[in-house]
């Protein structure tokens, strides 16, 4: 049994908590939040010990691992504290406010030999992993362009302020929404090396951008476009899509549907020349407890398994999330 | 409950396998009349129960139903609450407390915060009751014999171990609306266990059940065993696994399972509605004659 604590019971925190609560190998030994209301409800209706101070929780509950799902600006300090106490850490995305902070944490986790993971859940989605397999097979030929897109209805009218509308606290469409797409591009194609230029446009928000449009250049010298907008209410929920163009084929994938075009007969097994359409039902791996999508349970399970030594700590590591933070910085600089 | 229930995913651009199909549906069902026409096709196919989420647009549909009492005399709606994306998007923007302030009616929260009163257990349950009442407003005057909790909430509470809230939902729906509570879940075996422990007998549970094991947490075999051995009124949803299997194969499998009282499906075209309904009846007939 892995003893797990959680700091920050907001939207993602509550979701992690529910998945952890149902996980057969995890025991939730403490939950920490600053909201009296949230804490009081958890205290009354859940079996989890609740705390308003995370230091107190660590002292009393002595967790093996902690989930950190507080606003981004607090990640650095809290994660550093956890690592120095030799606690395994799962942090929410984006990783840190600056790449410098992230680099320090990457190094510390490595030094201490601790399991570290960040919540970029797209890497646990079957369709995107199949994209990785196809790219590894080389069957779409040399990649010459990509388009990474994400759209959704988060800020669709002028509203009150909170930390998500404050850039210095990690708010805005770039850190919250675009980070997912950047991380996916980093993972599937190659890490971002250079940003030619960017537009960070506010639509309804004041002080932060609601959309991000960028020209990216990757370490493997492929270039492409990033287009993200969280003020688009023609979408029911966040929808992330990646289009990859190669000299011998093309891939269009989102979380549900994978479309691949091959120019030649030389295709991976299960595919033929021309268009191929596959669905998440072909790739989704069954989970023991389902909450909002297989990927949310799968990432938590992977983290627990990594602590148990059953899987390598190589998915969504601090290092890969730090590279996404680097790209975010480059985008800001180019805007 | 009727054997066949008509679902609403197609009306609100919910498609589990294709964003493109979602968009096509959202264009097709832009007008309320298009939804009504499709509901009428379902009624003509002998389906008189519409199971739908508490989406804003359902309010318009309810109004049309109220205005035509003769036509919709036998028509029932099973509301499924809440329309989760409304709240999920709000939580991303406003946080949990901000969302409650936005959606809990009246000055309920305001007075709680201002007064700084110690929150009594009773207050949270009445907050839940207020939220249920808000979601139920649109169904006034319509026959709603079963009221469902959406899977994202059922399963969230399940994982958190908040079984008292699940039980309170069950109790309130009975007391206030003289309706049966239903629970939608992606974790059927676990939910049954928790509801049983909570003393809820023979609950109505709607769950993903299909031949390929899609969204059946713990696996198809565990689900089949649960259907054989546990006491509950089952509704099978996602029986077509979002189109991963042929309708014939899919429905033959589900019709052959024990303890499934109803089958829920949604479709956009008259032909698909009639075809699915008649396949279910055909397989049911075959099983009876065997």
Looking at residue A159, which CATH number applies to its domain? 3.30.360.10
Are A321 and A244 in a shared domain?
yes
* pLDDT at residue B118 tops 50: no
What the block records as the tokens of A243 is: 């289009």
Q: Categorize the per-residue pLDDT at B241 as very low, low, confident or very high, splitting at 50, 70 and 90.
A: confident
pLDDT, tens digit, for every residue of B126-159? 888 888 998 999 999 999 999 999 999 999 999 9
Note whether A130 and A200 are same-domain residues: yes
**Summary mean pLDDT of chain B:** 89
Provide the greatest CA pair distance for chain B: 67
Tell me the three state secondary structure of residue B210.
coil
Interfacial B residues in 224-243 facing A (CB < 8 Å): 241-243
Position of tokens 């305001």?
Answer: B110
Which chain A residues have a beta carbon less than 8 Å from that of B157? 18
Who among A42, A234, A290 is closest to B155 (CB)?
A: A290
Q: A242 in contact with B at a CB cutoff of 8 Å?
A: no
Q: Is A46 in CB contact (< 8 Å) with chain B?
A: yes
> What distance in Å separates the CA atoms of residue B279 and residue B276, rounded to the nearest whole number?
5
Residue B246 forms contact with A (CB below 8 Å): no
**Please, which residues 155-214 of chain A have a Cβ atom closer than 8 Å to chain B?**
155, 159-160, 162, 164, 176
Question: In chain A, what residues touch B193 (CB-CB under 8 Å)?
Answer: none
Which token pair is B91? 């939580």
We report the CATH number of the domain holding residue A95 as: 3.40.50.720
Distance (Å) from the alpha carbon of A193 to chain B's nearest alpha carbon: 30
Q: Are residues A116 and A192 in the same domain?
A: no
**CATH code for the domain of B219:** 3.20.20.100
The interface predicted TM-score of the complex, written ipTM, equals: 0.93
Are A68 and A133 part of one and the same domain?
Answer: no
| Structure confidence at residue B147 (pLDDT) | 98
Mean pLDDT confidence for B9-18: 80
Q: Give me the pLDDT at residue B21, please.
A: 80
Cβ-based neighbours of A325, under 8 Å, separated by 6 or more = A94, A95, A96, A98, A99, A102
Tally of domains within chain A: 2
Q: Domain of A275?
A: 122-280+316-334
- pLDDT tens per residue, range B181-221: 999 999 999 999 999 999 999 999 999 999 999 999 999 99
Residues of chain A in contact with residue B186, where contact means CB-CB under 8 angstroms, are: 290-291
Q: Within this chain, do residues A117 and A167 fall inside the same structural domain, yes or no?
A: no
Look-up of token digits 């700590």: A313
Q: Is residue A311 part of a domain?
A: no
Q: Which residues of A touch B121 (CB under 8 A)?
A: 44
B97 with A38: Cβ contact below 8 A: yes
Is 90 exceeded by the pLDDT of residue B24?
A: no
Determine the Cα angle at B221 with ends B215 and B222, to 5°: 75
Sorting pLDDT into bands at 50, 70 and 90, what band is B113? very low
pLDDT at A182: 98
Q: In this complex, do A286 and B158 lie within 8 Å of one another by their Cβ atoms?
A: no
Nearest to A47 among B161, B216, B218 (CB): B161
If we measure between CA atoms, which residue out of B163, B164, B147 comes closest to residue B155?
A: B163
CB contact under 8 Å between A290 and B95, yes or no, is no
| CA distance linking residue B206 with residue B79, whole number of Å | 13
Q: Say how many C-beta atoms besides its own lie within 10 A of residue A236's C-beta.
A: 18
Residue A213 and residue A69 share a domain: no
CB pairs under 8 A between A and B: 135
Domain final position from A103, A121, A139: A121
Query: Which of A64, A97, A121 is the last residue in one of the domains?
Result: A121
Among A residues 292-331, those touching chain B with beta carbons less than 8 Å apart: 292
Angle at the Cα of A246 (from A242 to A249), degrees rounded to 5?
90
In a domain, residue A291? The reply is no
Residue A217 buriedness (CB in 10 A; 0-12 / 13-18 / 19+): middle
Residues of B in contact with A236 (CB under 8 A): 12-14, 22, 85
A219-238 residues touching B, CB cutoff 8 A: 234, 236-237
- Reply yes or no on whether the pLDDT at B95 is more than 80: no
User: Cα distance from A194 to chain B (closest Cα, Å)?
Assistant: 30
Least Cα distance to A83 among A103, A49, A107 occurs for A107
Residue B52 is part of which domain span? 4-289
Q: Are residues A115 and A126 in the same domain?
A: no
Using CB atoms, which residue from B13, B88, B217 is nearest to A290? B217
Kindly report the nearest CA distance between residue A286 and chain B, in angstroms: 6
261-280 in chain A: CB under 8 A from chain B: 279-280
Residue of B nearest to A172 (CA): B93
User: What are A228's strand-pairing partners?
Assistant: A150, A212
Instruction: List, as one string, the DSSP characters of B120-159.
Output: PHHHHHHHHHHHHHHHHGGGTTS---EEEE-HHHHHHHHH
Distance to chain B for A116, nearest Cα, Å: 24
A32 and A140 share one domain: no
Question: CA neighbours within 13 Å on the CB side: how many for A333?
Answer: 12
Residues A134 and A212 in one domain: yes
A237 and A167 in a common domain:
yes
DSSP secondary structure string, A47-103?
Answer: SS-EES-HHHHHHHH--SEEEE-S-GGGHHHHHHHHHHTT-EEEEPSS--SSHHHHH
Residue A59 resides in a domain: yes
Choose the final residue of a domain: A101, A121, A141: A121
* Window B:119-148, CB contacts with A under 8 Å: 119, 121, 124
b/e map B139-166, b = 16+ CB within 10 Å: beebbbebbbbbbbbbbbbbbbbbbbbb
**Average pLDDT in the B259-276 region?**
95
* pLDDT recorded at residue A72: 94
Q: Are residues A155 and A266 in the same domain?
A: yes
Does B213 lie at the interface with A, CB-CB under 8 angstroms?
yes
Residue B109 has pLDDT above 70, yes or no: no
Q: How far apart are CA A215 and CA A31, in angstroms?
A: 41
Backbone phi and psi for residue B120, each to the nearest 5 degrees, phi listed first: -90, 155
By Cβ distance, the residue of A41, A153, A286 closest to B219 is: A286
Interface contact B214-A284, CB threshold 8 A = yes
Chain A residues 16-45 with CB within 8 Å of chain B: 17-22, 35, 37-38, 40-42, 44-45
Measuring CA to CA, how many Å separate B81 from each of A92, B104, B134, B170?
28, 14, 10, 13
Q: What is the pLDDT of residues A79-126, one digit of tens each?
A: 999 999 999 999 999 999 999 999 999 999 999 999 999 999 999 999
Would you call B92 and A154 a contact, using CB atoms and an 8 Å cutoff? yes
Task: Name residues whose C-beta falls within 8 Å of residue B259's C-beta, 6 or more positions apart in sequence.
Answer: B227, B228, B230, B232, B234
Q: Residues 134..153 of A with a Cβ closer than 8 Å to B: which?
A: 152-153
Our CA-based measurement puts residue A177 at a distance from the nearest CA of chain B, in whole angstroms, of 11
**Residues in chain A where the model's pLDDT stays below 70:** 159-164
Q: A160 contacts in B (CB within 8 Å)?
A: 94, 98
Q: How far apart are CA B241 and CA B39, in angstroms?
A: 22
- Residues of chain B positioned with their CB less than 8 A from the CB of A37: 96-97, 100, 119
Distance CA A135, CA A251 (A): 9
Cα A220 to Cα A13, A109, A194, A301, B290, distances in angstroms: 36, 28, 11, 32, 64
Q: Does B161 touch chain A (CB under 8 A)?
A: yes
Same domain, residue pair A187 and A268: yes
Overall domain count for chain B: 1
Contact B93 A155 (CB under 8 A): yes
The C-alpha atoms of residue B214 and residue B16 are separated, in whole angstroms, by 11
The whole-angstrom separation of Cα B17 and Cα A152 is 17
Task: Examine residue A239 and state whether it is found in any structural domain, yes or no.
Answer: yes
Name which of B14, B92, B110, B210 to mutate to probe chain A: the one with the most chain A Cβ atoms within 10 A of its Cβ: B92
- pLDDT tens for B253-265 read 999 999 999 999 9
Cβ <8 Å between B124 and A45: yes
Q: Residues of chain B with pLDDT > 90: what percent? A: 69
Residue A297 lies in a domain: no
Q: Considering only alpha carbons, which residue of chain B is nearest residue A44? A: B121
Q: What is the DSSP letter of A170?
A: T
Neighbours of A136 (CB within 10 A): 10
Helix and strand element counts for chain A (H, E)? 11, 14
Tokens of A180: 């997912």
**Structure-token match 């939804």, residue found:** B35
Residue identified by tokens 């189109």 is B243
| 3-state per-residue secondary structure call for B40-65 | HHHHHCCCCEEEEECCCCHHHHHHHH
């Amino acid at each position: 049994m892995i003893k797990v604590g959680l700091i920050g019971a907001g939207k993602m925190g509550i979701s992690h908590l529910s998945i952890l609560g149902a996980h057969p190998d995890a025991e939730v030994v403490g939950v920490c939040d600053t909201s009296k209301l949230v804490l009081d409800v958890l205290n009354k209706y859940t079996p989890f010990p609740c705390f308003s101070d995370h230091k107190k929780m660590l002292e009393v509950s002595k967790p093996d691992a902690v989930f950190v799902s507080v606003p981004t600006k607090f990640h650095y300090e809290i994660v550093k504290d956890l690592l120095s106490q030799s606690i395994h850490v799962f942090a929410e995305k984006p990783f840190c406010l600056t790449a410098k902070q992230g680099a320090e944490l990457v190094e510390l986790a490595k030094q201490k030999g601790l399991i570290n993971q960040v919540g970029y859940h797209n890497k646990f989605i079957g369709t995107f992993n199949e994209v990785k397999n196809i790219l590894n097979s080389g069957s779409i030929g040399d990649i010459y362009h990509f388009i990474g897109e994400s759209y959704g209805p988060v800020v669709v009218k002028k509203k009150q302020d909170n930390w998500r509308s404050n850039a210095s606290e990690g708010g805005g469409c770039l850190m919250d929404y675009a980070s997912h797409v950047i991380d996916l591009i980093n993972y599937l194609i190659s890490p971002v090396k250079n940003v030619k230029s960017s537009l960070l446009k506010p639509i309804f928000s004041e002080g932060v951008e609601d959309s991000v449009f960028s020209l990216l250049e990757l370490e493997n010298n492929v270039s492409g476009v990033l287009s993200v907008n969280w003020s688009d209410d023609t979408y029911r929920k966040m929808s992330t899509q990646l289009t990859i163009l190669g000299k011998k084929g093309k891939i269009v994938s989102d979380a549900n549907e994978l479309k691949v075009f091959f120019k030649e007969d030389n295709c991976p097994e299960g595919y033929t020349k021309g268009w191929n359409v596959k669905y998440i039902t072909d790739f989704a791996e069954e989970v023991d407890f389902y909450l909002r999508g297989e990927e949310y349970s799968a990432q938590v399970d992977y983290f627990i398994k990594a602590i148990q030594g059953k899987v390598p700590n190589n998915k969504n590591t601090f290092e890969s999330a730090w590279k996404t933070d680097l790209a975010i910085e480059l985008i800001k600089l180019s805007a | 409950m009727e054997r066949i229930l008509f679902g609403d995913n197609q009306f609100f651009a919910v498609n589990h396998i294709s964003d493109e199909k979602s968009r096509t549906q959202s264009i097709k069902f832009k007008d309320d009349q298009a939804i009504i026409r499709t509901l009428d096709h379902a009624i003509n196919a002998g389906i008189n129960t519409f199971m739908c989420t508490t989406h804003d647009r359902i309010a318009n549909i309810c109004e049309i139903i109220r205005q035509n009492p003769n036509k919709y005399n036998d028509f029932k709606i099973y509301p499924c609450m809440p329309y989760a994306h409304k709240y999920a998007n709000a939580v991303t923007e406003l946080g949990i407390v901000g969302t409650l302030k936005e959606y809990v009616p009246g000055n309920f929260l305001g007075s709680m915060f201002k007064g700084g009163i110690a929150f009594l257990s009773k207050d949270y349950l009445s907050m839940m009751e207020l939220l249920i009442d808000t979601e139920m407003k649109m169904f006034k005057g319509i026959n709603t014999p079963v009221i469902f909790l959406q899977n994202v909430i059922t399963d969230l509470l399940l994982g958190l171990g908040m079984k008292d809230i699940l039980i309170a939902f069950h109790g309130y729906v009975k007391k206030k609306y003289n309706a049966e509570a239903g629970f939608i879940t992606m974790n059927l075996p676990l939910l049954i266990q928790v509801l049983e422990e909570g003393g809820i007998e023979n609950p109505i549970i709607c769950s993903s059940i299909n031949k390929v094991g899609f969204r059946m947490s713990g696996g198809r075999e565990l689900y089949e065993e649960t259907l054989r051995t546990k006491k509950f009124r089952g509704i099978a949803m996602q029986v077509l696994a979002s189109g991963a299997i042929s309708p014939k194969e899919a429905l033959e499998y589900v019709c052959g399972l024990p303890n499934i009282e109803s089958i829920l499906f949604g479709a956009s075209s008259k032909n698909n509605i009639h075809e699915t309904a008649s396949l279910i009846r055909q397989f049911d007939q075959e099983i009876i004659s065997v």
